[in-house]
Amino acid sequence: MLRRKVRGYDSFRCIAGDCPQTCCAGWLIEIDDEALEGYQKETSAYGETLRARIDWEEKVFRQDADARCAFLRQDGLCDMYCHLGEDSLCLTCTSYPRHTEEFENVREYSLAISCPAVAEQLLATTQPLSWETWEDDEIEEPYEEFHGILYEKLVVMRESMIAIMQDRRIPFAIRCHTMLRKVNAMQEALDEGRWEACLLDAKAAEDAKEGVRAFASLEDMHVLFRNLYALEPLSYMWRERLLAAEHLLYETDQETYTHLQQEFETSQPDLFVKMEQIVVYFIFAYFCGAVYDEYVYALAQEAVVNAYLIRELWLAKWLEQDKTITIKDMAEIAYRYSRELEHSEENLECMEEMMDGQILV
């Protein structure tokens, strides 16, 4: 079994009661069968309380009227953890925000930026994202209909994409354009069945010298921003946040919008480092998933669009707060965006389909 793990994965620690937006509220927590069996057999004095707070039919923890887990105390701590210790937690609670992507004889591990602590850590560091790779003795049964050749090409392409995005000698918009042009060439080759040539075509596209989309047009960004309304809102305030941001950003003219962008970039020296981290995060976590549907370009484009849409929400927050914004503000926007997108399979699929229909290169 080959394993890849984002650096910092093992050192992550939950900040528990200090978390500004706990993962124990807002969505149902599924309980694995092994944990359910343990809860059923719990013989301590806490056992009856434990079992009463479980929906045994749905295999989830019950919630209160505010969608908070029944075990979440007012101080932000887990009542079960406090009574029974860490070993009592189910797989969902012990794994999040750790994210796993599974392929035939490969496991890839990353940290989800839907977690406030992960989002702030990602945006606060200027060190490029990296990961470690190793093999162990575990052997897995082959996946049915797994396209191993395509997966290998996707891994090679992903390495090239990340190398392009992390070359900070080059302006960020040019990096995005170069990377997307390269992946688009791969997509075209795959669509035409030219498997062996797809990486060669992509290399030629990378070397081509063409005009660069700067992602600065008010009209273009407004169109991309409105894609967010097609997603099912998971929190009741999300749509209101989008409407407020849209009003601040796009009810103006191109000259004013461009000036605001430039002023914001000047006020945030590490802005494009932060955007780079977001793009690379999404590329590492999701790009090789194209082995299952061949939406190669859509996933690459989505990574770039996510970074630019988060940038737009940062810009709106900066305007809202009299042209000031903190790293905690930026992390909050990033993790809320991630929760709306990544915590819904329907939203992920919807965004992928929209990106498949829009070509930015």
* Banded model confidence at residue 259, pLDDT cuts 50, 70, 90: very high
Number of domains into which the chain is organized: 3
> Looking at per-residue confidence, does 154 or 195 come out higher?
154
User: Would you say residue 360 has pLDDT above 90?
Assistant: no
Provide the whole-model pTM: 0.89
Span 296-325, average pLDDT: 96
Tens of pLDDT, residues 13-34: 888 788 888 888 877 889 999 9
Per-residue pLDDT at 66: 85
Tens of pLDDT, residues 262-293: 999 999 999 999 999 999 999 999 999 988 88
User: Which value, in Å, is the radius of gyration of the alpha carbons in the chain?
Assistant: 22
* Banded model confidence at residue 211, pLDDT cuts 50, 70, 90: very low
* Cβ count within 10 A of residue 121: 17
Domain shared by 135 and 74, yes or no = no
Per-residue pLDDT at 15: 82
- Is the backbone peptide bond immediately before 128 cis, with ω within 30 degrees of 0? no
Whether 229 maps to a domain, the answer reads yes
Domain shared by 55 and 183, yes or no = no
Per-residue pLDDT at 190: 86
> Looking at per-residue confidence, does 114 or 356 come out higher?
114
Strand partners, 135: 2
SS3 annotation, the chain = CEEEEECCCCCCCCCHHHCCCCCCECCCCECCHHHHHHHHHCCCCCHHHHHHCEECCCCEECECCCCEECCECCCCCEHHHHHHCHHHCCHHHHHCCEEEEEECCEEEEEECCCCHHHHHHHHHCCCCCCEEEEECCCCCCCCCCCCHHHHHHHHHHHHHHHHHHCCCCCCHHHHHHHHHHHHHHHHHHHHCCCCCCHHHHHHHHHHCCCCCCCCCCHHHHHHHHHHHHHCCCCCCCHHHHHHHHHHHHHCCCHHHHHHHHHHHHHHCCCHHHHHHHHHHHHHHHHHHHHHCCCCHHHHHHHHHHHHHHHHHHHHHHHHHCCCCCCHHHHHHHHHHHHHHHHCCHHHHHHHHHHHHCCCCC
Q: Which amino acid is at 22?
A: T
> Looking at per-residue confidence, does 53 or 24 come out higher?
53
Domain shared by 242 and 351, yes or no = yes
Whether 2 maps to a domain, the answer reads no
Domain shared by 243 and 344, yes or no = yes
Per-residue pLDDT at 195: 66
Domain shared by 43 and 129, yes or no = no
Of 121-125, 194-198, 332-336, the one with minimum mean pLDDT is: 194-198
**Cβ(22)–Cβ(67) below 8 Å:** no
Whether 242 maps to a domain, the answer reads yes
* Residue count (the chain): 361
% of the chain beyond a pLDDT of 70: 93
Residue with tokens 């939406």: 295
Q: Which domain holds residue 231?
A: 149-356
* Banded model confidence at residue 212, pLDDT cuts 50, 70, 90: very low
Domain shared by 122 and 252, yes or no = no
Q: Residue 308: name the closest of 282, 332, 345, 340 by CA.
A: 282
Domain shared by 205 and 263, yes or no = yes
Integer Cα distance of 238 and 230 in angstroms: 12
Domain end among 144, 173, 205? 144
**CA 177, chain centre distance (Å):** 20
Whether 11 maps to a domain, the answer reads no
Whether 271 maps to a domain, the answer reads yes
Of 190-204, 286-300, 337-351, the one with minimum mean pLDDT is: 190-204
Tens of pLDDT, residues 86-141: 899 999 888 889 988 888 888 999 999 999 999 999 999 999 999 999 998 887 77
Q: What is the largest CA-CA distance in the chain?
A: 71
**Cβ(20)–Cβ(334) below 8 Å:** no
Whether 19 maps to a domain, the answer reads no
Domain shared by 174 and 301, yes or no = yes
Integer Cα distance of 314 and 245 in angstroms: 9
* Banded model confidence at residue 147, pLDDT cuts 50, 70, 90: confident
Work out whether strand 98-103 and strand 106-111 pair parallel, antiparallel, or are unpaired: antiparallel
Whether 207 maps to a domain, the answer reads yes
Please give the mean pLDDT across all residues of the chain: 89
Per-residue pLDDT at 201: 62
